[in-house]
Structure 1
Amino acid sequence: MRVTDLTTPALLVDVDALDANLADMAQALPGPRLRPHVKAHKTTELARRQAGVGHAGFTCATVREVEGMTAAGLGEDLLLANEVLDARRLGALDARVTLAVDSEETLAAAVAGGVREVLVDVNIGLPRCGIAPDRAGRLADRARAAGLTVRGVMGYEGHLMMLGDVAERARLTEECMGRLLAAHADVGGELVSGGGTGTYALNTWVTEVQAGSYALMDTAYTAAGLPFRQALTVLGTVISVTAPAGEVPGWAVADVGLKALGMDHGNPAVPGAQVWFCSDEHLTFAPDEPLRVGDRVRVVPAHVDPTVTLHERMHLVRGDDADDPEVLDTWAVDLRGW
């Protein structure tokens, strides 16, 4: 199969860029210093490639991801870094599963589900999940009293990931980690888990970083100055072309719309073109050079995670091949759903 044989829209992964990203991160954060977050790609074959460069422990966002990773033989050390109120499916797995807790209710769910190990999730500045730092120790005490092992704390400085000013990003990361380390002093345990792609090189306080987007990348992280290569694009087909008329520039339309792209970080990019807008099934853009109906274009998403989960599979290609490269392999995006 070649790229021109694919039905569009279709996810393409430049295998050379992917492997370079995995190798660069493995050098920066070897072994247990990185706990890759599979929510960014939801693909067990990609996770297997991450394990192959030395990252055997993984972060998950859903029960489905934990189950899928276990079924794929990647259950050596899985952290569900999210609060759940029904953990029964987790306790039945033949894997090491650690669950984030931030309340009496989520702690009770872990106990009822047969989960044996937890991390206390601490609110360090992002208004999402997490217990107040000064209450973390008491929750850890209750977890131990219930017979659970408390492995430590986690906290996510997600609101800082894409700050353009790197010095400010570093300063605020230190502030957030001060809160997390204060909680850890009360909680105990061997793990201080946090961070992400945007702070992986700045956050030296955690014992493990939960980065995920680095593997495939998107325009938002590239704009934040991250050094990783853009590995993921969405292949589209030009389905309509309008020639210039007077002062109105010409435009083209590709079949990559809102239903094929994560749009919460803004419009995607098309190299050599100005993107105007997206609608359900359409991407309208002004190309620098004339295009014809039937031409293929590669669309670069602004947010990789929700883009990937809209697709059933990703196709590996070699980016420096001809315009119509061979599809080297196809991986199922098999961790989708709940």
Structure 2
Amino acid sequence: MTDEELHRHLVGRQGSRRELNTPVLVIDRDALDRNIARMAAFAMAQGLALRPHAKTHKSADVARRQIAAGAVGQCCAKIGEAEALAAEGIGGLLLTSPVVSVPAIERLAALNARSEGLICTLDHPDNARAIAAAIAARAGAPLTVLIDVDPGIHRTGVASPDTAVALFEVIRDLPALSYGGVQFYCGMQQHITDYADRAAAMADRAAYLRTVLAALTDAGGAPRIVSGGGTGTHRIDATLGLFTELQAGSYVFMDDQYRACALTEEGDMPYETALMIDARVVSVNAPGMATVDAGLKAMATDAGPPRILAGGGEGARFVFMGDEQGALIGGGPMRLADAVTLAAPHCDPTVNLYDHYHLVSGNDLVDIWPVTARGRSR
């Protein structure tokens, strides 16, 4: 049975969260809305546009809330995510990863014809020419492109100011493309735990970006858009005087990876945990341990085991016990069918394991949302 079939009748019923079939992916709607409002207010106060990264939530419903709060659109890691959101009427989409293969470029050209404000990034002249040819073949409106600048991770992006200028000159001569500026996403810096160390790392990267922007400006390519930043560095990014828009995404859910970082100079946490997994005790036969129905298939494991948000008793810790089960070690005695709530250790890949979000307010199920772009990894 689908989530809708299992749970739609519970929406609006008092205390219905405890009747959900588990494991289940849960959003605290009130915390989500507060997170969205806080980041929107921050960006507005700093004079920056906000284009949150949808790879975090993959949800047209979350995207609509972000845009209603002031976001100019959404970032998408893959063209499949962009297609899924565009089909739901979400505009202002920025593809942050290269679109290179022939079939993917054909999809990009088709998407450009039906998605208002579409932008893509690229880092190679051959890719620029291939995309331009596909756009021109459809006689469509020019596609806005950003030059992806490598921040030092060597994953994607042009490798020097000179190669940035060379790519700009190619783009400038292709009528099917419209040069918009640059992307500079410092992924390695997002999870540096100490705020001062993170700020120093970003200051170093900003000095390099200034050389790229200066070279582009001298060549006639002063960027209209400088897109980048993330949840871990957004407070720092806003002080650098370089970015025009922020791509922060994880702030909507605040997984444990970001909670391990001091997001402000004062060390306070401006965003709340809004994404969680509800589970249930299925066995209590071993002393000092209770087995729950959420294991390796219920959450991403690259960030380690989850925090226990509710249930289990003080001092309990979670350990994985296989694909389908986990265990609470220590804490208080548990009974069969007791509810347990776990924090998502890493939100993006955890979300991709589920078909639906279950929105709750307190202990009440208030809505069910599809994970619109689940599995759209190509």
TM-score tier, shorter chain, comes to: over 0.9
Structure 2: distance between partners of 1:29 and 1:144:
31
**Any unmatched runs of 5+ in structure 1?**
245-249
Structure 1 residue identity aligned to 2:168: A
Residue 171 of structure 2 corresponds to which residue in structure 1? 143
Structure 1 residue identity aligned to 2:183: M
Q: 1:284 aligns with which of 327, 339, 343?
A: 327
Q: Would you say 1:53 and 2:61 are equivalent positions? A: no
Which deviates more, 1-10 or 299-308?
1-10
State the 4+ residue runs in structure 1 displaced beyond 4 angstroms: none
Residue 8 of structure 1 corresponds to which residue in structure 2? 22
Residue 80 of structure 1 corresponds to which residue in structure 2? 95
Measured after TM superposition, the shift of residue 109 of structure 1 is: 3.6
Question: Structure 1 residues 235 and 112, CA, compared in 2 at 3 Å: closer, same or farther?
Answer: farther
1:158 alignment partner, SS class: coil
Measured after TM superposition, the shift of residue 61 of structure 1 is: 0.8
Structure 2: distance between partners of 1:212 and 1:112:
32
- Please give the TM-score of this superposition, normalised by the length of structure 1: 0.92
Structure 2: distance between partners of 1:110 and 1:290:
61
Structure 1: distance between partners of 2:346 and 2:38:
21
Asked if 2 retains the 8 angstrom alpha-carbon contact of 1:234 and 1:299, the reply is: yes
Residue 247 of structure 1 corresponds to which residue in structure 2? none
Structure 1: distance between partners of 2:121 and 2:294:
36
Q: 1:97 aligns with which of 93, 112, 118?
A: 118
Cα deviation, 1:231-270, whole Å, max 9, x if unaligned, reads 01011111112443xxxxx111211111121111222111
Q: 2:41 aligns with which of 13, 23, 27?
A: 27
Measured after TM superposition, the shift of residue 278 of structure 1 is: 4.7
Residue 129 of structure 1 corresponds to which residue in structure 2? 156
Residue 252 of structure 2 corresponds to which residue in structure 1? 215
Q: 1:317 aligns with which of 346, 354, 360?
A: 360
Question: Structure 1 residues 156 and 290, CA, compared in 2 at 3 Å: closer, same or farther?
Answer: same
1:264 alignment partner, SS class: coil
Residue 369 of structure 2 corresponds to which residue in structure 1? 331
Residue 261 of structure 1 corresponds to which residue in structure 2? 299
Residue 226 of structure 2 corresponds to which residue in structure 1? 192
Asked if 1 retains the 8 angstrom alpha-carbon contact of 2:49 and 2:72, the reply is: no
Structure 2: distance between partners of 1:45 and 1:238:
31
Asked if 2 retains the 8 angstrom alpha-carbon contact of 1:80 and 1:98, the reply is: yes
1:173 alignment partner, SS class: helix
Which deviates more, 302-311 or 1-10?
1-10
Asked if 2 retains the 8 angstrom alpha-carbon contact of 1:161 and 1:198, the reply is: yes
2:66 alignment partner, SS class: helix
Structure 1: distance between partners of 2:134 and 2:18:
48
Structure 1 residue identity aligned to 2:123: D
Structure 2 residue identity aligned to 1:224: C
Measured after TM superposition, the shift of residue 10 of structure 1 is: 0.7
2:235 alignment partner, SS class: coil
Residue 166 of structure 1 corresponds to which residue in structure 2? 195
Measured after TM superposition, the shift of residue 32 of structure 1 is: 5.2
Residue 32 of structure 2 corresponds to which residue in structure 1? 18
2:58 alignment partner, SS class: coil
Structure 1 residue identity aligned to 2:82: V
Structure 2: distance between partners of 1:278 and 1:159:
31
Measured after TM superposition, the shift of residue 180 of structure 1 is: 2.1
Structure 2: distance between partners of 1:108 and 1:314:
40
2:237 alignment partner, SS class: coil
2:191 alignment partner, SS class: coil
Which deviates more, 326-335 or 121-130?
121-130
Structure 2 residue identity aligned to 1:141: E
Structure 2: distance between partners of 1:206 and 1:99:
17
Structure 2: distance between partners of 1:221 and 1:38:
17
Question: Structure 1 residues 132 and 118, CA, compared in 2 at 3 Å: closer, same or farther?
Answer: same
**Any unmatched runs of 5+ in structure 2?**
1-9, 11-15, 136-141, 217-221, 264-268
- Please give the TM-score of this superposition, normalised by the length of structure 2: 0.83
Measured after TM superposition, the shift of residue 140 of structure 1 is: 1.2
Measured after TM superposition, the shift of residue 33 of structure 1 is: 2.1
Which deviates more, 44-53 or 198-207?
198-207
Structure 2 residue identity aligned to 1:35: R
